[in-house]
Amino acid sequence: MVLCLARLAQDRHSHGMNAAETLWLSMAAYAVGTSITPGPNNTMLLTSGVNVGFRATLPLVLGINLGGLVLWLAVGLGLGQLFLGWPGLQLILRWAGGAYVLYLAWRTWTAGTAQPRHGEAAARPLGPWAAAAFQWVNPKVWFMVLGYFGTFLPEQPEPAEVLMASVYFTVLNLPCISLWAFAGSRLQAYLGQPLRRRVFNGAMALLLIASMLPMLG
């Protein structure tokens, strides 16, 4: 899907767009296509939207975006070369990410109802700093950032280029992932019954685990 969007964007060059416009459009297609597709982040956001609503999920959204921006800057300024040149680091990242996703799946599975009974703790999404830290062990995010820089930036980009490309992706990423939190909040009424909520949380926990399996191979 992402490659198709990027190809469509690049085809616009033959219809009068200059190289810079084509590049920015292709980068936008890549950013939207990779940001809006399912993965650990979006599964967390959908679940949080169901359990606590859109407003209470906003810190999680901002944490994901902030952590992603810092990672993009670090990779663009040299960390990506270290990652690509050290296979052991890639293995550590995969398994650390897998372990953390299992923890998130457990949190999702045991999440409470949106309106807990007296004496119960309300379900709380992952905090913004924890969400930001998770981006560093999220294999999908690493694949996204390495593909982005490898496709659209020169082999040794200038710091200004890295900054512009990173901010551009982050700005486009924000509404894409916010849609998942909003969609979850729209499901609250239907999933108001405790049994339905538990079934949903269980399904999201399994989906979280499933989303990591291709990246661990």
Q: Which amino acid is at 209?
A: I
Our measurement of the distance from residue 157's CA atom to the centroid of its chain's CA atoms, rounded to an integer in Å, reads 24
Which of 120-134, 153-167, 181-195 comes out lowest in average pLDDT?
120-134
The verdict on residue 172 lying in a domain is yes
Q: What is the pLDDT of residues 160-170, one digit of tens each?
A: 999 999 999 99
Residue 207 counted as domain residue? yes
In this prediction, residues 78-99 reach a mean pLDDT of: 73
In-domain check, residue 129: yes
What is the chain's length? 217
Q: Does residue 23 fall inside a structural domain?
A: no
* Span of 116-120, 137-141, 195-199, 212-216 with lowest mean pLDDT: 116-120
Considering its fold, how many domains does the chain have in total?
1
Share of the chain above pLDDT 90, in %: 36
Domain membership of residue 18 (yes or no) is: no
The pLDDT-based confidence of 188 (bands split at 50, 70, 90) is: confident
In a domain, residue 86? The reply is yes
19 is a domain residue = no
Q: Is residue 10 part of a domain?
A: no
* Count of helix runs (H) and strand runs (E) in the chain: 10, 0
Domain boundaries, position 125: 38-216
pLDDT digits (tens, 9 = 90+) for 24-42: 999 999 999 999 998 899 9
